Amino acid sequence: MTAQIDVVPRKRGSGVTLRRAMLGECERVYAYNAAADVRALSGKPTPILLGDHEMWFARRIADVSSPFWIIEDDGVPVGSVRIDARADMNARISIALDSSARGRGIGRRAIVLACADWRGIVVAEIHEGNAQSRACFTACGFVQMGKHDAFDVYQWSP
C-alpha cells in the first residue's frame, strides 16, 4: 500500500522577502535593470553601460532616504525594487525581476511589501506597452491617475 501525502498548495508569493541591496551587488542589479526586455518595457531601449550603472548604483544605495531592496524568493535573489524619494513630488517605485521569476506572484508581493515599508503615497510610471506591469500594479491597489507621453501614471495611497 502506498502512503498518501497531502500537498497543501503554496500561496503565490508566500516565499518573497525584501532585504537592502549592498554595494557588492552592483552587477546583480545591472543584470535585472539592463536586460534588453526590461529596457524595452521602460520606454528607453538604449543600452545602459556598466560603468554608468556602477556610478549610479553607488550613489543610489548611499541615499538612505530612498530604499533599495533585493527581492528574494525562498532566499534566492530574483530581482530588485526601489522607491525614489523626490523633492516636491510623490515617491516613485521601480521594479525589475529576472525573466525566470516573472508571472508567479513575486512582483505583486514585492510591491506590496515595499509600499507597506514606505507608508506614503507611491507613484508608478508604466509604459503603455507594458500590460504585465499594469496588471501587477493594479492587483497591488495602484490606480491610474494620469498619463504623460507614453507612460501611464499609477498611484498607491496607504
Query: By the criterion CB under 6 A, which residues form the site for ligand COA?
Result: 12, 38, 41, 79, 95-97, 102-108, 124, 126, 130-133, 135-136, 139
**Residue 76 C-beta: closest distance to ligand COA, Å:** 14
Q: Which CB, 132 or 157, lies closer to ligand COA?
A: 132
Q: Which CB, 61 or 79, lies closer to ligand COA?
A: 79
Amino acid at 94: S
**Residue 134 C-beta: closest distance to ligand COA, Å:** 8
Residue indicated by cell numbers 526601489: 82
Q: Which CB, 62 or 132, lies closer to ligand COA?
A: 132
Length of the chain: 158
Residue indicated by cell numbers 504623460: 148
- Helix, strand or coil, per DSSP, at residue 117: helix
**Residue 142 C-beta: closest distance to ligand COA, Å:** 10
Residue indicated by cell numbers 491597489: 141
Nearest to 81 by CA among 146, 149, 13: 13
Nearest to 99 by CA among 41, 45, 154: 41
**Residue 78 C-beta: closest distance to ligand COA, Å:** 9
Q: Which CB, 2 or 91, lies closer to ligand COA?
A: 91
Q: Which CB, 47 or 62, lies closer to ligand COA?
A: 47
**Residue 156 C-beta: closest distance to ligand COA, Å:** 13
Assigned C-alpha cell, 26? 552592483
Residue indicated by cell numbers 498611484: 155
